[in-house]
Structure 1
């Protein structure tokens, strides 16, 4: 579909749009001014995780989709002229409901204010076309973010390709904070980026541990990146910005809300090699992050606690009812994320995708047959057997009478 914008753009002078967008354009990629402005607008029009917006933007492009709103197209016309290959009646019904949500937020002045706020705090807007966009977010399908607002190092977002999400209770105990400190520093020392939500308790301790190890950590917020939340973590969030990144799909000025926290959790779960719940009560919000990780097929781990501790009841529930892997050491956490103990991320990066998938399907303790590995990895049995042979030459795997296992790489 051809771009529908003319001068003026979105009811604004084209120079105003260009200046406001250039101030938030991230380094490292060619900038499509109109598309960047459209995605900035959509981040304020649609709530995080809005699948109708995600589907429409992926079908026709952000600028064309925004033009449809600007020109007040009906749902039927959008379906008819966008050539979307779906059940047209059902999608038209979805669009009817979505337009009721979107149109009250269609305000060019609001978008310019958001861009101005972003420029003031030196935030940039990263889109799916940028080299630093985390490809794992695409696994969210129509629920994937349309853009991400970021303060800090843009390349830190790219580095989440080798990351672990550490989450847990806000009301953490001394035990939980100790576990978070050990996990954050140990995984950071192994080259993982630590991803979390900057909340009190477990999140904050995981970020601090990574910072103390002089490693990269990334925080996903439920509100705008210009509004550190919780306010008691303003200094911590500032330190994360200095060496890593603070990220949100909500535009600057956006307030955190319960819904946005729940939707923020899907991003934390999506970007990590694995999600590990370090301490959580029976109804902890971190179980929501765990649910997103499980739904995406991401490895999920949980750290057990004293059976008398209500603060660990959620972890025990994940292990018992939801198939989370019980992890008690940093090596076990790293293994869950696809790394043998003692291995570095440089080693992991040098492997082929097929080798990575086979290693992801193996365990240190439980021997698995080539057929089982094929099922877990989604590769043909013949390919699995060939890859196992190559990995055996590198002493990364070993064949036992019962099947194949990881071989831990000790320093």
Structure 2
């Protein structure tokens, strides 16, 4: 009996499979392989997830992967990696944990699958476990990854928040890893302006890591998405963090490194972005700051673009020059009016005037300019941030 035929696996995977063997097989694969396993990716691409899984359980032979150009050594290594996890109890436990946590499995066959992940080739995720708004995955093609040091300085967190908030207010999605420091600042600023943010995590999407970000995870899941290619319940490990970084880079239209030490893991994300041909930016810092040494190296040796404002990021992703110019110099009145607005609660002109401390006429003039720039919109109930 194969894993796909095991009653425990079928029952545990019922919430994710929709009675489709290929979907169930992809869920099973996430519990068997580590992220970025190219042998598994090649096998699934060639034979489909369910048939590939049956081939593995039946015992791969050298001819199984000959057409994929994989030799006996790669085949033997794959066998040894996967065999310990070809256990129905292990797989069923992971799938049941995903169902209890309310996670949704998104596969390459689904309409909401982010097509930009295909740039990873055979190292692309076999499926994504998602917590929160599943549609967020299909809406992040126009997005930027903002990443950086966990031990960030106040300067770094301030810059990350400024960039994320400004970009999110213009409809640019913000992707990061939900870690302390730069990641957390970027997520929080995006949430603060009602923007779309997606956290790509190294462990199971049902886990909260770091534990101190429990509130942040809940906020992201409420309006954005937390995604992982590892099975529910999986523990974050150093290897999984490094592999997670390739997904952050692939999902984004560009990657911006705000702060990074000389040996920071964030440079791994930058490396993936460069390998994928994605635009790469870095924020300069004080030459005496160890937390900016990695950024300075990216600027000096890896042709990263110097990022000093959200206008620079817009240019990095090919947005219009008019947008960049407008972004670079909002008037004081426009800033005050935007500060007085919310993304979901419409407010009339009188309320905006009261909150901004401005005259009604000045508010009306600023709203007109902001509407032309696409920063605000009028609804039946009043004005909201676009």
Tell me the residue number matched to 1:234: 214
Which residue, out of 34, 56, 59, partners 1:47? 34
CA separation of 1:33 and 1:223: change in aligned 2, threshold 3 A: same
Tell me the residue number matched to 1:12: 6
Contact 2:12 2:93 in 1 (8 A): no
CA distance in 2, matches of 1:19, 1:93: 36
Tell me the residue number matched to 2:145: 165
Deviation at 1:20, TM superposition (A): 3.0
What secondary structure is seen at the aligned counterpart in 1 of 2:194?
Answer: coil
Which residue, out of 158, 172, 190, partners 1:192? 172
Deviation at 1:342, TM superposition (A): 5.0
TM-score after normalising by structure 1: 0.76
Tell me the residue number matched to 2:362: none
Which residue, out of 43, 53, 70, partners 1:56? 43
Contact 1:18 1:33 in 2 (8 A): no
Deviation at 1:340, TM superposition (A): 2.1
Contact 2:2 2:57 in 1 (8 A): no
Unaligned runs of 5+ in 1: 1-6, 26-30, 345-408
Tell me the residue number matched to 2:314: 334
Does residue 1:21 correspond to 2:13, yes or no? yes
CA distance in 1, matches of 2:232, 2:3: 21
Matches within 5 A, 1:2-401: 10-13=4-7, 17-24=9-16, 31=18, 33-71=20-58, 73-79=59-65, 84=67, 86-87=68-69, 90-341=70-321, 343=323
| Count of residue pairs brought into register by the alignment | 327
Contact 2:4 2:21 in 1 (8 A): no
What secondary structure is seen at the aligned counterpart in 1 of 2:140?
Answer: helix
CA distance in 2, matches of 1:236, 1:55: 36
CA distance in 2, matches of 1:204, 1:341: 29
- Supply the RMSD in Å over aligned alpha carbons: 1.8
Which stretch shifts more, 284-293 or 335-344?
Answer: 335-344
Tell me the residue number matched to 1:28: none
Contact 1:38 1:62 in 2 (8 A): yes
